[in-house]
Amino acid sequence: MNNPAHYPAARPRRLRQSDWVRRMTREHQLSSDDLIWALVVHDGVEDEIPVAAMPEAPRLSVRAAAKAAKRAQDLGIPAIALFPHIDPAKKDAAGNEALNPNGLVCTAVRAMKDAAPNVGLMVDVALDPFTDHGHDGLLGNGRILNDETIAVLTEQALIQVKAGADIVAPSDMMDGRIGAIRTALEREGHQDTLIMSYAAKYASAFYGPYREAIGSGKLGSGAHANPGDKRTYQMDSANTDESLREVALDIAEGADMVMVKPGLPYLDIVRRVKDAFAVPTYAFQVSGEYAMLKAAGANGWLDEERAVMESLLAFKRAGADGIITYFAPRAVQLLHGHS
């Protein structure tokens, strides 16, 4: 970058001296349009069930989720990302409850669309909320079965779309699942359904609170649990070029949007993906990031409100078109000046 001026001709602080000039020269902006609200729905009667590791982000009943959808509409939040916590008695090794058209996800989607038809609903396509072993796919002889899992995921996606989901978001990281789902959607007349692919999803320590929230437990705890982690299908944290290969494959197979997960620890990946492909690119500020900010704020170690907004702006600065976050409604309130 060429800047021929030198001090005192150049005084960069002139552009920082007051609020109006800082706003006028600000390079990146955050708005409600950038946010997708992540929330967990449960199949019980209690409107809210606290999650210890995620203060102020409880599991919601279907009724409460419908109210949340209306709140999102009122706040101008364009979409909600929905994740289920089902009765453990409904879980099995094959995740069969994922294919129930009257199950929790489909019931919640219908109720939320009725309450707020103008809010987009993004549903998770994966088996981990439904399996007793907590993995995203089917197990066989100690391995995650790729192609067999894809067949189930494709059926799951179709069922969710028929219930009213606007975006299907495969988070499983099976090879080839985007192409299979896109082909099925086209075949069944759902050519307008969006696919947001978890294209660069890393095997991360930052998912722990989410697993508590959806009740998937510790890997290895189910009757058929083996292997004990997700590293054979989620990406290695040391890799960056691999993310570009994954994204390229998913775009070629029919993804409309791509996601990097987790968020803040992988801002370099967000930037590389956006620069390389120039497609709608999203980042997921995951449960561990949420929990850390909440804990630091509760202990007075950080100014929580400022830290939250700074973290969200960091995604925009890195090139993200939007952020999936549990902070969405709070962030909108802060954007509107409500503390």
Residues noted as catalytic: 201, 261
- Indicate the residue type of 122: M
Contacts of 237 (CB under 8 A, 6+ apart): 202, 203, 204, 265
Buried residues in 2-27 as b, exposed as e (16+ CB within 10 A) = eeeeeeeeeeeeeeeeeeeeeeeeee
**What whole-number distance in Å separates Cα of residue 327 and Cα of residue 324?**
9
Which stretches of the chain are assigned E, i.e. beta strand? 35-42, 48-49, 59-60, 79-85, 120-125, 138-140, 143-145, 167-170, 194-201, 257-261, 281-285, 322-325
316 near 293, Cβ under 8 Å?
no
Buried residues in 69-96 as b, exposed as e (16+ CB within 10 A) = bebbbebebbbbbbbbbbeeebbebbbe
**What whole-number distance in Å separates Cα of residue 116 and Cα of residue 77?**
11
**What whole-number distance in Å separates Cα of residue 246 and Cα of residue 290?**
26
In the block, tokens 């998913």 appear at 250
